[in-house]
Amino acid sequence: MPVQPIRLFGDPVLRRPATEVVDFDKELRRLVADLTDTMLDAPGAGLAAPQIGVGLRVFTWYVDGEVGHLVNPDLSLSEETQDGPEGCLSLPDVTFDCVRSRLVVARGFNMHGEPVVIEGSDLLARAIQHETDHLDGILFIDRLDPAARKAAMREIRESDWFGLEQPTVKVSPHATRGFAI
């Protein structure tokens, strides 16, 4: 499957809530394959469909040697938290400590429409929460305290990639039902 361009901070698709998947078809399986290939090529610990310009509730992860995906996630979070470094493929080279729940139970579906439950802690819990945030139009910098967010925005403005023309994707190779740019 082809590696897709990753949308960068500033692209409006990253701020739009994604739409639930209703068709578990060949196009969805192709989207999951493209997300996986793009994530592994980057490399990253996760990638959500909006990051490649597709406004559907799908993400992939690669944590501790395990590759997985989840469609239409619904999360249950622990009250116990973890505070650690977090970055994002849509914000290259920007890393800040971010508080997340230490444990997560994620319910959703695989690409074939079969129900799945993923239980994770530490890095997997962080990745699942981060990617689910993308599906809600939330970036990890939105979860930082005001001082850290200000520092993150300064880093973004000073980065080599900030303000570069975003990749133009006129027609997504995936069925988006009108929910992509």
Per-residue pLDDT reduced to its tens digit, 158-169: 998 887 655 444
> What pLDDT is stored for residue 169 in this prediction?
45
Q: How confident is the model over 43-52, as a mean pLDDT?
A: 96
> What pLDDT is stored for residue 164 in this prediction?
66
Pseudo-torsion of CA 35, 94, 84, 119, nearest 10°?
A: -10
In terms of pLDDT, which residue wins out, 10 or 177? 10
Residue with tokens 């692209």: 11
Q: How confident is the model over 46-51, as a mean pLDDT?
A: 97
Looking at domain 12-158, which CATH architecture does it have? Alpha-Beta Complex (3.90)
Residue with tokens 């993308």: 134
Sheet holding 46-48, edge to edge: 46-48, 58-63, 66-77, 103-109, 115-121
Mean predicted lDDT score pLDDT of the chain: 90
Looking at the chain, which runs of residues are DSSP E strands? 46-48, 58-63, 66-77, 81-88, 91-101, 103-109, 115-121
Pseudo-torsion of CA 8, 10, 16, 20, nearest 10°?
A: 0
pTM: 0.88
Per-residue pLDDT reduced to its tens digit, 75-118: 999 999 999 999 999 999 999 999 999 999 999 999 999 999 99
Q: How confident is the model over 34-62, as a mean pLDDT?
A: 96
For 150, the 3-state DSSP assignment is: helix
> What pLDDT is stored for residue 171 in this prediction?
43
Q: How confident is the model over 132-149, as a mean pLDDT?
A: 96
Q: Is 30 exposed, middle or buried (0-12, 13-18, 19+ CB in 10 A)?
A: middle
- Which residue from 90, 102, 104 is spatially nearest to 47, judged by alpha carbons? 90
Per-residue pLDDT reduced to its tens digit, 12-28: 999 999 999 999 999 99
- Active centre residues (catalytic): 131
Kindly indicate the confidence band of residue 2, based on its pLDDT and cuts at 50, 70 and 90.
confident
Structural element, H or E, at residue 156: helix 146-158
**What Cα–Cα distance (Å) separates residue 155 from each residue in 94, 95, 115, 176?**
7, 10, 40, 33
Largest CA distance in the chain: 45
